[in-house]
Amino acid sequence: MANFLVNPQPYLVAGLTVEDGWNGPARGRVALGGEPTREHEDYAIVSINPMPGEANQLWPTLNVVCNFLEHEQRVHVIAANLSPLGLGLIRLRTMAQRDQLVRNSPFHLDDNHVITVVKHDEGFNSRSCTYTRVCWIMFLAFPLDFQKDLFIRAAVAPYGRLLEWYRDGNKSRILAQVLLLSPDRVPRSLIVSRGTMLGGTGRSWAVPVYILNGNFPDAFPADEDPVPFDGEPHPEHPPVVLGPHAQDPNWENEQNGAAAYLGFFGGNPHPNPMHLNLDQQSDNMQAEQEHDDIDDQAHDDDPWPAWNPQVFVQGNQQVPVPQHPEVP
């Protein structure tokens, strides 16, 4: 909610007065549903700083501002009215002229006055609000003649936007899916009333209200994917899986030392990492040590003496054979 000063007197029709003193609520709320048709894109709110000090100076000042805009910005102001959101609400001939004023704003009327122009729905009364829950609202004993889309929307408007309401053969209940501003705004009982002009008499019905199966609204979708390197956003086949992650095979050739590990359906995209090399060396040293221990134990259990080549040198020496005297 936006808090700002408002003087209602310039907007009253002759003969009407404001009744003060009623102890009304500080604020009410209507949560409208759907997206309205944009039919006022040629309207804008024009303001001047400083504003006129007296109410009877508003209309003359607005006329001066409109004439200034028509002569300096070459636009045509079709209609102008006072506005509580500034000096006035003006209508231009086209939406392009409205956008021109918004784009070029602010304007210097003279050395002491500055004119600003904003879109009709972007005045200083505009604020952002958050819808926190999506849930089903169950109404029991809702008056049968009021079980229509128009009245269901009006019933949930003070605290949420009607998304859909469930229709079946059970007329004793109404299930409405609502986008809630806050669950604590939903009343436990809804008073549906209908009045007449005959002495102000009317009738009201009490409708029990229950919140069912609430959940948080959907999160924002992920960002759009980048364009693939080959320009094909919808390939026929998925990329070949290399190791634990999916990536194209050609990328692995660009990695240092990966050519020997490139496989058609497998491979290691990060071959021979340092920590794996250290673990491999430790395992190899441990295996060699165990092998040496086994060899030493085998020698201790062998009953045969160790080989001494000197013992068999004499017997292994070659004896020269005598030759025939006629044989050279």
The residue among 86 and 315 whose pLDDT is bigger is: 86
pLDDT attached to residue 4 = 77
Residue 66 has pLDDT above 50, yes or no: yes
pLDDT value at residue 303: 57
Percentage of the chain surpassing pLDDT 90? 24
| 91 pLDDT above the threshold of 90 | yes
Contact 212, 137 (CB under 8 A): yes
pLDDT on residue 235 = 81
Residue 55 pLDDT: 84
Asked, as a colleague might, if the bond just before 143 is cis with ω within 30 of 0, I would say no
DSSP state of 234: S
Choose among 212, 148, 150: nearest CA to 178: 212
Choose between 316 and 218: higher pLDDT: 218
Q: How far apart are the C-alpha atoms of 216 and 131, rounded to whole Å?
A: 9
Q: How many CB atoms lie within 10 A of CB 58?
A: 18
The two beta strands, 88-92 and 77-82, are: antiparallel
Residue reference for tokens 């392009």:
96
DSSP string, 169-203: S-TTEEEEEEEES-GGGS-SEEEEEEE-SSTT-EE
The amino acid at 187: P
| Stretch 141-147: mean pLDDT | 90
Three-class SS state of 42: coil
> Cβ atoms within 10 A of the Cβ of 89, count?
20
> In the numeric block, which tokens belong to residue 232?
């094909």
Q: What is the pLDDT of residue 285?
A: 65
Each residue's pLDDT tens digit, 260-283: 444 444 444 444 554 445 555 566
pLDDT in tens, 179-210: 888 888 888 999 888 888 777 788 889 999 99
pTM for the predicted model, two decimal places: 0.57
Tell whether omega for the bond before 322 is within 30 degrees of 0, i.e. cis.
no
Q: What is the C-alpha separation between 132 and 180, in angstroms, rounded?
A: 6
